[in-house]
Amino acid sequence: MSRYFLWAAQQGIILSGCSYLPAKLDVERVPIKPIFYGITPEPAVELRFSAGKPLYLLSAEVPLWLAQLLLSMAKPRFQQAAVGCWQRLYFQARVSYLRRRMQSQLLNWEYIRPPAPRVLRSADMHAGDWECCAAMPTPELTSAVLEALKARRLLESELETALARLGAVYDGQLRVLLHHLVLHHILQRESAIALNSYGRLHCRRCGSDRIHWAWCAKCGSHCPFCGDCRNMGVARGCSALYSLTPQMQAHTARHVQAVPKMNLPFALSSAQAAASEQIVSAMRQGAKEITIWAACGAGKTEVVYAAMREVVGRGKRVLLLTPRRDVTAELYARLQGVFGADYVVGLYGAAESNYQASPIMVATTHQAIRLDGAFGLVVLDECDAYPYRTEKMLQNAVGRLARQGGCFIQMTATPSPLLRRHSSRLVYIPARHHGHPLPVPNVLQDTGLRLWRTPEMTQSLPPCPESVIEALIRSRREKAQLLIFVPRRLLVAPLVEALRQVGVERVAGVHSGSENRDEIRTAFKEGQLEAVVATTIFERGLTFPQVNVAVLLAETRQIFDNAALVQMAGRVGRTTTRPQGSVWFTCVQPSQAMRQAIEDIVTLNEMAARAGLLASGYVDVAPGKLKPGEQRGIGDVQA
Amino acid sequence: MSKRSSVDPSMSGSRWQRLSGWVWGLLRDAGELVLPQTCVCRLCRRPLPAPPLPFACYVNDLYACLCRECIHSLAWVQPPLCPQCGRPWRHGGLCRFCLRRRHVLQGCSPLVYTGAAQELVRELKFRAVCELGRPLGYIIGAMVRSAMPDWEPQAIIPVPLHADRLAARGYNQAELLSQGVSHFLKKPLLHQALLRTRHTQPQSALSVTERVKNVHAAFHVPHPAVVANKRLLLVDDVHTTGATVHAAASALWHAGATTVRFATLAVAANTADLSER
CA distance, residue A72 to nearest chain B CA (Å): 6
Q: Is B232's pLDDT higher than 90?
A: yes
Which residues of B have a CB under 8 Å from any CB of A?
Answer: 1, 3-5, 7-13, 17-19, 21-22, 24-25, 44, 69, 72-73, 127-131, 166-172
pLDDT one-digit tens code per residue, A402-412? 888 789 999 98
pLDDT one-digit tens code per residue, A383-400? 888 788 888 889 989 988
- Alpha-helical (H) ranges within A27-81 are 64-79
- Do residue B21 and residue A194 have CB atoms under 8 angstroms apart? no
Residue A639 CB neighbour total at 10 angstroms: 6
CA distance, residue A572 to nearest chain B CA (Å): 29
The rounded distance, in Å, linking the Cα atoms of B60 and B68 is 11
Q: Is A264's pLDDT higher than 90?
A: no
How much of chain A exceeds pLDDT 90, in percent? 19
The rounded distance, in Å, linking the Cα atoms of A416 and A110 is 52
> Which sign does the torsion angle of CA A321, A322, A323, A326 carry?
negative
pLDDT one-digit tens code per residue, A145-161? 988 998 899 998 889 98
pLDDT at A318: 92
- The residue of B1, B6, B10 whose CB has the most chain A CBs within 10 angstroms, and thus the best one to mutate to test that interface, is B10
More confident residue, A326 or A164: A164
- Do residue A190 and residue B7 have CB atoms under 8 angstroms apart? yes
What CATH number labels B75-273?
3.40.50.2020
CA distance, residue B213 to nearest chain A CA (Å): 26
Query: Parallel, antiparallel, or unpaired: how do β-strands A344-347 and B259-267 relate?
Result: unpaired
Which chain A residue is nearest to residue B70, measuring alpha carbons?
A: A490
pLDDT at A545: 87
CA distance, residue B1 to nearest chain A CA (Å): 6
Q: What average pLDDT score do residues B16-38 get?
A: 79
* Secondary structure (3-state) at A448: helix
pLDDT one-digit tens code per residue, A200-213? 788 888 888 888 88
ipTM score above 0.90:
no
Nearest CB to A198; choose among B25, B44, B130 = B25
Band of pLDDT at residue A443, cut at 50, 70 and 90: very high
Q: Provide the mean pLDDT of chain A.
A: 74
More confident residue, B121 or A257: B121
The rounded distance, in Å, linking the Cα atoms of A96 and B94 is 62
Q: Is B185's pLDDT higher than 80?
A: yes
CA distance, residue B106 to nearest chain A CA (Å): 31
Residue numbers in B near A195 (CB within 8 A): 9-10
CA distance, residue B191 to nearest chain A CA (Å): 13
Band of pLDDT at residue B265, cut at 50, 70 and 90: very high
Nearest CB to B21; choose among A198, A212, A490 = A198
- Do residue A217 and residue B11 have CB atoms under 8 angstroms apart? no
Measured torsion, CA atoms of residues A554, A559, A563, A564, in degrees rounded to the nearest 10:
-70
More confident residue, A372 or A64: A372
Terminus-to-terminus CA distance in chain A, angstroms? Answer: 91
Q: What average pLDDT score do residues A211-217 get?
A: 84
A352 closest CA partner among A557, A636, A70, A162 = A162
The rounded distance, in Å, linking the Cα atoms of A482 and A468 is 10
Q: What average pLDDT score do residues A562-570 get?
A: 89
A192 closest CA partner among B170, B116, B41, B31 = B170
- Do residue A197 and residue B72 have CB atoms under 8 angstroms apart? no
Q: Is A35's pLDDT higher than 80?
A: no
More confident residue, A136 or A246: A246
pLDDT at A69: 57
Q: Mark B146-183 as b/e (b = at least 16 C-beta within 10 Å).
A: ebbeeeebbbbbbbbbeeeebeebbbbbbbbbbbbbbb
Nearest CB to B170; choose among A68, A71, A236 = A236
Helix (DSSP H) and strand (DSSP E) numbers for chain B? 13, 7
Which chain B residue is nearest to residue A244, measuring alpha carbons?
A: B5
Residue numbers in B near A173 (CB within 8 A): none
pLDDT at A111: 33
The rounded distance, in Å, linking the Cα atoms of A585 and A565 is 9
Tell me if A506 sits within 8 A of A530, measured CB to CB: yes
Which residues of A have a CB under 8 Å from any CB of B?
Answer: 68-69, 71-73, 75-76, 157, 188, 190, 194-200, 202, 204, 212, 214-218, 223, 225, 230-231, 234, 236, 246, 250, 374, 403-404, 456, 489-490
Residue numbers in B near A374 (CB within 8 A): 1, 4
- Do residue A197 and residue B21 have CB atoms under 8 angstroms apart? yes
pLDDT at B147: 93
Region of poorest pLDDT, from A212-221, A319-328, B193-202: A212-221
Residue numbers in A near B73 (CB within 8 A): 490
Residue numbers in A near B9 (CB within 8 A): 194-197, 202
Q: What average pLDDT score do residues B97-109 get?
A: 87
pLDDT at A637: 38
Band of pLDDT at residue B239, cut at 50, 70 and 90: very high
pLDDT at A77: 46
pLDDT at A96: 58
CA distance, residue A275 to nearest chain B CA (Å): 29
Q: Is A62's pLDDT higher than 80?
A: no
More confident residue, A626 or B19: B19
Nearest CB to B8; choose among A72, A216, A230 = A72
CA distance, residue B229 to nearest chain A CA (Å): 31
Q: What average pLDDT score do residues B192-213 get?
A: 88
pLDDT at A300: 84
pLDDT at A66: 54
- Do residue A157 and residue B168 have CB atoms under 8 angstroms apart? yes
Band of pLDDT at residue B62, cut at 50, 70 and 90: very high
Nearest CB to A218; choose among B24, B131, B167 = B167
Residue numbers in A near B13 (CB within 8 A): 197
Residue numbers in A near B72 (CB within 8 A): 456
- The residue of A39, A188, A197, A205 whose CB has the most chain B CBs within 10 angstroms, and thus the best one to mutate to test that interface, is A197
Tell me if A363 sits within 8 A of A355, measured CB to CB: no
The β-bridge partners of A15 are: A118
More confident residue, B11 or A66: A66
Per DSSP, which regions of A490-623 are E strands? 507-510, 531-534, 547-551, 583-587
Q: What average pLDDT score do residues A516-525 get?
A: 89
CA distance, residue A385 to nearest chain B CA (Å): 16
pLDDT one-digit tens code per residue, B187-200? 999 988 999 998 88
pLDDT at B220: 93
Which chain B residue is nearest to residue A224, measuring alpha carbons?
A: B170
Nearest CB to B170; choose among A216, A231, A489 = A216
pLDDT one-digit tens code per residue, A304-318? 999 999 998 888 889
- Do residue A194 and residue B9 have CB atoms under 8 angstroms apart? yes
Q: What average pLDDT score do residues B265-273 get?
A: 87
More confident residue, A8 or A486: A486
- Do residue A490 and residue B22 have CB atoms under 8 angstroms apart? no
Identify which of A376-390, A607-621, B37-51 has the greatest average pLDDT. A376-390
- Do residue A198 and residue B127 have CB atoms under 8 angstroms apart? no
- Do residue A198 and residue B18 have CB atoms under 8 angstroms apart? yes
CA distance, residue A404 to nearest chain B CA (Å): 6
More confident residue, A486 or A30: A486
Band of pLDDT at residue A353, cut at 50, 70 and 90: low
Counting every residue written for chain A, the total comes to 639
DSSP of A428-445: EE-S-TT-PPPPPPEEEE
- Do residue B21 and residue A76 have CB atoms under 8 angstroms apart? no
Which chain A residue is nearest to residue B14, measuring alpha carbons?
A: A197
DSSP of B144-182: HHHH-TT---SEEEEPPPBHHHHHHHSS-HHHHHHHHHH
* Secondary structure (3-state) at A579: coil
The rounded distance, in Å, linking the Cα atoms of A425 and A407 is 12
For chain B, what are the domain ranges? 75-273
Residue numbers in B near A250 (CB within 8 A): 1
More confident residue, B79 or B173: B173
CA distance, residue B119 to nearest chain A CA (Å): 11
Q: What average pLDDT score do residues A15-26 get?
A: 29
pLDDT at A280: 93
pLDDT at B190: 92
Size of interface A-B (CB pairs under 8 A): 83
Q: Is A593's pLDDT higher than 80?
A: yes
pLDDT at A233: 87
